[in-house]
Amino acid sequence: MADTRNKQQKTSPKAPDFLAWHVTQKGDKSYWNKVGAAWAHKDSAGYTIQLEVVPINGRIVLRQPIEDPREPATDQEGA
């Protein structure tokens, strides 16, 4: 009989709920650089944030990812 109590199920990676952007202001312009992502916890009580870099100035803004408008839509009716 196989022991399956302590085996973790393999799941495909989940897309992030938010992208993390480092925003700096220079004059009248804002410069946005993607620095990481955030995923909601299963209990919806918090987030896990993964940053590739940690900025020392400016601010970090979390924004929901948007689809690239240059890519074709995948949910076309009647296709």
Establish if 49 belongs to a structural domain: yes
Q: What is the mean pLDDT of residues 4-11?
A: 67
Share the mean pLDDT of the chain: 84
The confidence score (pLDDT) of residue 79 equals 44
Establish if 40 belongs to a structural domain: yes
pLDDT, one tens digit per residue, over 28-45 is: 999 999 999 999 999 999
Rounded-to-integer distance, Cα 31 and Cα 5, Å: 49
Let me know the angle formed at the C-alpha of 52 by 47 and 58, rounded to the nearest 5 degrees. Answer: 85
Establish if 39 belongs to a structural domain: yes
pLDDT above 70 covers a percentage of the chain that reads 73
Rounded-to-integer distance, Cα 48 and Cα 62, Å: 12
The confidence score (pLDDT) of residue 39 equals 97
Number of domains in the chain: 1
Domain that holds residue 46: 18-63
One-letter amino acid for residue 57 of the chain: N
pTM over 0.85: no
Distances (CA, A) of 13 to 10, 23, 27, 39: 9, 27, 39, 11
Establish if 4 belongs to a structural domain: no
